[in-house]
Chain A
Amino acid sequence: MTFSHNVPIPSSSPRLLMQGVRKRFGATLALGGVDFSVQPGQVMALVGENGAGKSTLMKVLSGAHAPDEGRMWLDGQPYAPRNPLEARRAGVAMIYQELSLARHLTVAENILLGVEPGRGPLMDWGSARKTAADAMRQLGRPDIPVDVPVGRLSIASQQLVEIGRAIAVGCRVLVLDEPTSSLTSRDIELLFDLVRRLKSRGISIIYISHFLEEVKEVSEVFTVLRDGRSVGSGVTADTPTEKIISLMVGRDVEDLYPRSNRTRGEELLRVENLAGDPKPLAASLSLHRGEVVGIAGLVGAGRTELLRTIFGLEAVRDGTIRIGSYFGPASPRRRWAQSMGMVSEDRKTEGLALRLSIADNTTLSKLIGLGPAGLVFPSRQQAASAKWIQRMGIKCRSAGQPVGDLSGGNQQKVAIARLLHHDVDVLLLDEPTRGIDVGSKAQIYRLIDELAGGDASTGRKPRAILMVSSYLPELMGVCDRIAVMCRGRLGLARPVAQTSEHQIMTEATGAAESTCAPDAPGAPGQPATIGVSE
């Protein structure tokens, strides 16, 4: 509680008060006792790194998750929503970065979805239109027609409809989660005007953003979350940006990241001026054997797109990718053949076939050498993956068990085991430790180190690893070099010793005077979609 004494304590009771909120998912402690309060008509910025617990806290607030411990009050009344609808009726509304509108329904239908006025089963259309038009007028946008399907509106207007939905049911607390992520700079200004207007009407606003310059502009007070705890709060205007960043980052690197002697070998991957559709924008990068290169940046900066383009999952618009001595068309199939493998950031929808067995998932990319005459023997598949189950300590009943039965950490180890079964030289790891317990994280860090170091006993040469992560301490601990990506642009990869979490955060949030500012030349009409996901 570094700054809590700075918060002005008004005489009235707070609009929203959260005390000692704890939430645990399996082995992961998402919230370890958060205290949080907002006054009526106040704009509170909630900041923190990816994974700090912001989303979880807001899900507790909006009734999507029930807290394990802790209590909440709304205007002095105990508040414990059992689901998002109850929260909405109590006056707590969330605007997520992914808008939750029904694209085919009209503005009016969306605004009144779930709270339709009517007599019995009949919908009262007149009253619905009036309520919707009222809401849009309050937002200062009476020009948006309420009878148009929202799919035809611009993203900025759709966001207004979503806010209108909150206003129409009489909201007291409005949560804006990365609201500027897909807006142009002009729309951002309009949004800020709207925030001030809502504030003057006494609505409390919780503003979540990675962009500290936005936080400085729009909020009065701020709270910093780190590792699921509130570590500081204060008056935004009185606190230098530097101070907020160090509160977000301030953590010692633990003995989690082993680092053996790595010898840098030949270049295995060279990317020059790579452009995708729409991201990345002219990315250049070089990756050598025996080194781990990290790509830092905010979610949505284009890091995932960069890896996917390299791996042939997204189309190349411009630029070249060279793997060893190979140029030419890219497809996942070719990449595997060129001894490159990738771990997807999304285990459940892309990385793993959850209903298939561990053995099937591990061996899918390389079903050769598992039987005579090109046949695939399930017993050989299981034997092949049993080796990796043993080596990586995957907790399971047998290699034939469906991957969906395993915990997140063990699932992730299966996803990585696929690359080891294939015995690739270049590993592309996208958020390899997202959502997994700290024990599995430690194993994966150690594995990465072993892979980059090579194995003298078997004569296995060191491998090259390109890793995307939103968790800075992990990048600092694991990588040899780190490049920062911001709004589609990839910076220069710098040795870890020559950079700091502070500097990376500054570059990633666009606080630095760099090419990354929203209106930087070269990126016209290309607002990066930036956001959190935890």
Chain B
Amino acid sequence: MTAIDFQSAPVEAAPVFDWRLLLKRLGPLVGFAFVFGLFSVLRPRLFLSYGNLQIMLLQTAVVGTAALGMTMIIIAGGIDLSPGSNIALTTVVIAVLLQWNWPPFWAALGGIFVATLVGLLIGALVIGRFGEVASGILGIGTFLVLSEYFTFPLAVAIPAAVVLLILCMLASWRFLPRVPISSFIVTLGLWGSIRGVAEQVGGNSTVYPPHATWLNELLLTPTGDHWWWILPIGVWMTIVLAIIVALALRYTKFGRHIFAIGSNEQTARLCGVNLNWTKLLIYTIAAVFVGIAGVLQFSYLTMGDPTTAFGLELNIIAAVVIGGASLNGGEGSVFGSMIGALMMTAVANGCTKMGWQNSVELMVTGGIIIIAVWLDGLRHQRAG
């Protein structure tokens, strides 16, 4: 073996048309077209009407928005079981804030803020910051007990809570090792806890805002002066957010790091990606989208309901997985997830339009999830 000339080595650098990539992108779309076409043929009048198409978009908005965050999390190799509960909490918080006479905009923002705190909590636990989380909860708890139960003035309650928080934080840094917890377990635990918080905040019942606000109109078909909007503003929000997330995943460092972490966390670490910071950011940003989904859900319900969106997280995960994401991480796309969300809606809506019972709808939906992922696996095997 003599020296080898690098330059003369055979290289086919010209990009070749990659049909596999195209199939991957279009796979969920083909599935959606099939389901959509099937119901269109079977019930053309009912299913394909302008009104029904609009309703389907509305029904997709909540799941679709929450699926944006779930897409990021699943690509990074994690999972989130808390969105259903978190959406319920958001609706309750908004309703309560409206009862306190906050302006609608700020009430909605308050709801999103609380949802985001939940995301921060999940992220912190996933990266092993148990001590910090416990200290934070203890601090808030102390404040609530002092101010609400013992009716201390804020000037006493706040400093006392802050001092306790700092002491606990210092103690945890000194004594507690950092133990990461899997996102499945963290969010399985919070799945119940957050709904409990929602019920507590809502006083164990639905919370009615004192009067109707424009928040109730986010998912209404525009009429009058705004007819040219065509779609409800909530649907537009989902579409715009989806485009932003899709671009961010593709064109930012943060987005590339998400794929790298999900594909191989060790490699990401070797390449200097800040794993903890990135993960914390992923769960926090995902929770912002859950909060926005909560605002849409509130708009749909026109009240705060601690029992709403029960099990919705499974629809959200299903949408992302139907869209071609891998639960092993490293794969997934916003476009796919949105198609997946539409598919879930189309199946549910189509079954209703067929006059099928809810039991049939459940069976069909379950079957479609499994078939979609099986087809995806089949394609992988062929390719690999």
> Smallest CB–CB gap between A404 and chain B, Å?
8
> Smallest CB–CB gap between B131 and chain A, Å?
20
Interface status of B155 (Cβ within 8 A of chain A): no
How many interface residues does chain B have, given as a range?
A: 35 or more
Interface status of B237 (Cβ within 8 A of chain A): no
Comparing A131-139, A211-219, A374-382, the segment that makes contact with chain B is A374-382
Which chain B residues (234-268) contact chain A, with CB distance < 8 Å?
250-253, 255-257, 259-260, 263-264, 266-268
Which chain A residues (352-389) contact chain B, with CB distance < 8 Å?
352-356, 360-361, 364-365, 367-368, 371, 374-378, 382, 386, 389
Please tell me if the beta carbons of A258 and B3 are within 8 angstroms of each other in the complex: yes
Please tell me if the beta carbons of A342 and B1 are within 8 angstroms of each other in the complex: no
Interface status of A24 (Cβ within 8 A of chain B): no
Alpha-carbon gap, A335 to B252, bound state (A): 22
Is the contact region of chain B dominated by helix, strand, or loop, or is it mixed?
loop
Please tell me if the beta carbons of A382 and B15 are within 8 angstroms of each other in the complex: yes
Please tell me if the beta carbons of A392 and B6 are within 8 angstroms of each other in the complex: yes
Interface status of A442 (Cβ within 8 A of chain B): yes
Interface status of A438 (Cβ within 8 A of chain B): yes
Please tell me if the beta carbons of B16 and A350 are within 8 angstroms of each other in the complex: no
Please tell me if the beta carbons of B14 and A364 are within 8 angstroms of each other in the complex: no
> Smallest CB–CB gap between B174 and chain A, Å?
18
Q: Identify which of B4, B252, B274 contacts A376 (C-beta below 8 A).
A: B252
Alpha-carbon gap, A336 to B274, bound state (A): 12
The answer to whether A375 and B3 touch (CB under 8 A), given A393-B10, A418-B271, is: no
Pick from B7, B253, B255 the residue with the most CB of A within 10 Å: B253
Alpha-carbon gap, A418 to B16, bound state (A): 23
Interface status of A332 (Cβ within 8 A of chain B): yes
Alpha-carbon gap, A397 to B16, bound state (A): 7
Pick from B250, B253, B271 the residue with the most CB of A within 10 Å: B271
Interface status of A344 (Cβ within 8 A of chain B): yes
Interface status of A446 (Cβ within 8 A of chain B): yes
Please tell me if the beta carbons of B251 and A353 are within 8 angstroms of each other in the complex: no
Interface status of A394 (Cβ within 8 A of chain B): yes
Please tell me if the beta carbons of A356 and B330 are within 8 angstroms of each other in the complex: yes
Alpha-carbon gap, A367 to B9, bound state (A): 27
Q: Identify which of A254, A258, A353 contacts B260 (C-beta below 8 A).
A: A353
Instruction: Across the interface, name the chain A residue whose C-beta is closest to B329.
Output: A355
Q: Which residues of A contact B264 (CB under 8 A)?
A: 349-350, 352-356
Alpha-carbon gap, A370 to B257, bound state (A): 14
Please tell me if the beta carbons of A438 and B1 are within 8 angstroms of each other in the complex: yes
Q: Which residues of B contact A351 (CB under 8 A)?
A: 267, 270
Alpha-carbon gap, A337 to B331, bound state (A): 29
Alpha-carbon gap, A446 to B8, bound state (A): 14
Interface residues as binary, B1-23 with A (CB distance below 8 Å gives 1, 0 otherwise): 11110110111111110100100
Alpha-carbon gap, A438 to B1, bound state (A): 8
Alpha-carbon gap, A400 to B19, bound state (A): 13
Instruction: Across the interface, name the chain A residue whose C-beta is closest to B328.
Output: A355
Interface status of B273 (Cβ within 8 A of chain A): yes
Interface status of A390 (Cβ within 8 A of chain B): yes
Number of interface residues of A (CB under 8 A): 56
Q: Identify which of B6, B12, B268 contacts A443 (C-beta below 8 A).
A: B6
Interface status of A500 (Cβ within 8 A of chain B): no
Alpha-carbon gap, A382 to B263, bound state (A): 18
Please tell me if the beta carbons of A254 and B1 are within 8 angstroms of each other in the complex: yes
Which chain A residues (433-449) contact chain B, with CB distance < 8 Å?
438-439, 442-443, 446-447
Q: Which residues of B contact A389 (CB under 8 A)?
A: 11, 13
Q: Which residues of A contact B9 (CB under 8 A)?
A: 392-393, 395, 443
Please tell me if the beta carbons of B4 and A443 are within 8 angstroms of each other in the complex: yes
Interface status of A514 (Cβ within 8 A of chain B): no
Interface status of B272 (Cβ within 8 A of chain A): yes
Q: Identify which of A337, A353, A378, A390 contacts B13 (C-beta below 8 A).
A: A390
Q: Which residues of A contact B10 (CB under 8 A)?
A: 393, 395
Instruction: Across the interface, name the chain B residue whose C-beta is closest to A256.
Output: B1
Q: Which residues of B contact A143 (CB under 8 A)?
A: none
Q: Which residues of A contact B2 (CB under 8 A)?
A: 255, 442
Q: Which residues of A contact B271 (CB under 8 A)?
A: 332, 336, 364-365, 418
The answer to whether A375 and B256 touch (CB under 8 A), given A335-B272, A364-B273, A393-B11, is: no
Please tell me if the beta carbons of A364 and B256 are within 8 angstroms of each other in the complex: yes
Interface status of A6 (Cβ within 8 A of chain B): no
Q: Which residues of B contact A333 (CB under 8 A)?
A: 272-274
Q: Which residues of A contact B3 (CB under 8 A)?
A: 255, 258, 442, 446
Alpha-carbon gap, A399 to B21, bound state (A): 13
Pick from B4, B15, B250, B260 the residue with the most CB of A within 10 Å: B4
Interface status of B269 (Cβ within 8 A of chain A): yes
Interface residues as binary, A418-456 with B (CB distance below 8 Å gives 1, 0 otherwise): 100000000000000000001100110011000000000
Alpha-carbon gap, A317 to B313, bound state (A): 45
Alpha-carbon gap, A361 to B268, bound state (A): 9
The answer to whether A390 and B253 touch (CB under 8 A), given A353-B268, A446-B4, is: no
Please tell me if the beta carbons of A376 and B256 are within 8 angstroms of each other in the complex: yes
Q: Which residues of A contact B270 (CB under 8 A)?
A: 313, 332, 342, 344, 350-351
Q: Which residues of B contact A331 (CB under 8 A)?
A: 272
Pick from B7, B21, B251 the residue with the most CB of A within 10 Å: B251
> Smallest CB–CB gap between A213 and chain B, Å?
35
The answer to whether A439 and B13 touch (CB under 8 A), given A332-B269, A355-B263, A364-B260, is: no
Alpha-carbon gap, A459 to B14, bound state (A): 29
- Chain A positions within 8 Å of B, measured between CB atoms, are 254-256, 258, 313, 331-337, 342, 344, 349-356, 360-361, 364-365, 367-368, 371, 374-378, 382, 386, 389-401, 418, 438-439, 442-443, 446-447
Q: A360-B256, A392-B9, A446-B4 are in contact. List 14 more A-B contacts (CB 8 A).
A: A313-B270, A332-B271, A332-B272, A355-B331, A376-B253, A376-B255, A378-B250, A391-B7, A392-B6, A395-B12, A397-B16, A439-B4, A442-B4, A447-B6
- Chain B positions within 8 Å of A, measured between CB atoms, are 1-4, 6-7, 9-16, 18, 21, 250-253, 255-257, 259-260, 263-264, 266-274, 330-331
10 interchain residue pairs of minimum CB distance: A393-B9, A353-B263, A333-B272, A353-B264, A365-B271, A350-B266, A398-B15, A336-B272, A364-B271, A353-B267
A sample of 30 cross-chain residue pairs with beta-carbon separation below 8 angstroms, ordered by A number, consists of A333-B273, A349-B264, A350-B264, A352-B264, A353-B330, A354-B264, A364-B260, A364-B271, A364-B273, A367-B253, A367-B257, A371-B251, A374-B253, A375-B252, A376-B251, A376-B252, A376-B253, A378-B250, A378-B251, A386-B13, A390-B7, A393-B11, A395-B9, A395-B11, A398-B13, A399-B15, A401-B18, A418-B271, A442-B3, A442-B4
